[in-house]
Amino acid sequence: MMDLFGIRRRREEKERQERERLEKIKKDQEKRIESRKSIIDPYIEKKQEEAERIGKEEYQKEKDECDMKNSVCPKCGGKDIINRFVRIQGEIDGHSHGYSFGGSYGSLEGKLDTLKVNECKACGNQWEVEKLDYILDDCIPQDFNPYHLGSKIGFLYRRVRGVLDKDEDEMNDLKPSKYLECYKDTPREALEYCLYCYGIGELYGEKDLLGTRLVDDKKSPNYNDNPYLFTLKDEVWDIVKIFIGRG
């Protein structure tokens, strides 16, 4: 079929230009992703390794203190200790009914528990066994784990949201937070990544208010699914800097 008016040719040329445009965006994004990853990944990995080391040291310290309390008598200092289940704890409620010929029936309700105690062979002193109430993971700081509920990233996010929403309390308290000073020297790219992963981009569906993409083109690849492409607006970053004490 002849293309008398050049319609097909112009359409094909337009499609070719669009493919080239998207391909260029894709390559630009790949470069930006690699550039930001080279900053973000090593930093977060280093911080998580430090957190794990601190957590293990703290856990071991608590465990040693717990073991000490269970291995030395607080009364005489004796170290020949045994464990026993000796004490019954609980409450029992009940009632009974009698018959004229001496028979009876009734019911009991309640709970009885045995208590594990330490006993000193030297002086006979008994004390309750000290328990370690948490596991190793509880001791590991989660400041740079944006997927953890214990991360301070969520607190930072809520404070920034408060300022953006003109919350009076947050506006009056717009100053460095000691609780957030762990982020003072964090690269901007790493904080943006953590905030995005926590949910600043999608959780409340307000990424246009809180931040943008490095390449703002909805037709481009990775527009909606790559945290390495997320960046805060400069005015939002200025608020973040105040809270983390960067000045």
3-state DSSP assignment of residue 95? strand
Do residues 231 and 200 make contact, with C-beta atoms less than 8 angstroms apart?
Answer: no
What is the model's pTM? 0.67
The percentage of the chain sitting over the pLDDT mark of 70, rounded to a whole number, equals 75
At 46-97, the pLDDT tens digits run 999 999 999 999 999 999 999 999 999 999 999 999 988 765 655 555 554 4
pLDDT score of 88: 60
Greater confidence (64 vs 214) lies with 64
Question: What is the pLDDT, as a whole number, of residue 89?
Answer: 54
183 band by pLDDT with thresholds 50, 70 and 90 = very high
Per-residue pLDDT at 108: 52
Residue 51: both structure tokens together: 């957190």
pLDDT of residue 205: 44
Q: Which residue has the higher pLDDT, 115 or 169?
A: 169
Per-residue pLDDT of 106-125, as tens digits, reads 555 656 567 889 999 999 99
Whole-number pLDDT of residue 222:
47
Amino acid at 202: E
pLDDT for the residue numbered 121: 93
pLDDT higher than threshold 50 for residue 20: yes
**Rounded CA separation 162/156 (Å):** 10
pLDDT confidence band for 100 (50 / 70 / 90)? very low
Tell me, what's the pLDDT at 204? 45
Distances (CA, A) of 202 to 23, 41, 162, 225: 26, 21, 17, 10
Q: Of 76, 92, 90, whose CA–CA distance to 127 is shortest?
A: 76
192 Cβ contact partners less than 8 Å away, ≥ 6 residues apart: 211, 230, 231, 232
Please name every residue paired with 154 in a beta bridge, in sequence order, or none if there are none: none
| pLDDT confidence of residue 202 | 44
Q: In Å, how far from its chain's centre is CA 186? A: 17
pLDDT at 215: 47
Query: Roughly what angle, to the nearest 10 degrees, separates helices 188-195 and 153-164?
Result: 90
What's the chain's average pLDDT? 80
Instruction: Give the C-alpha separation, 117 to 70, whole Å.
Output: 9
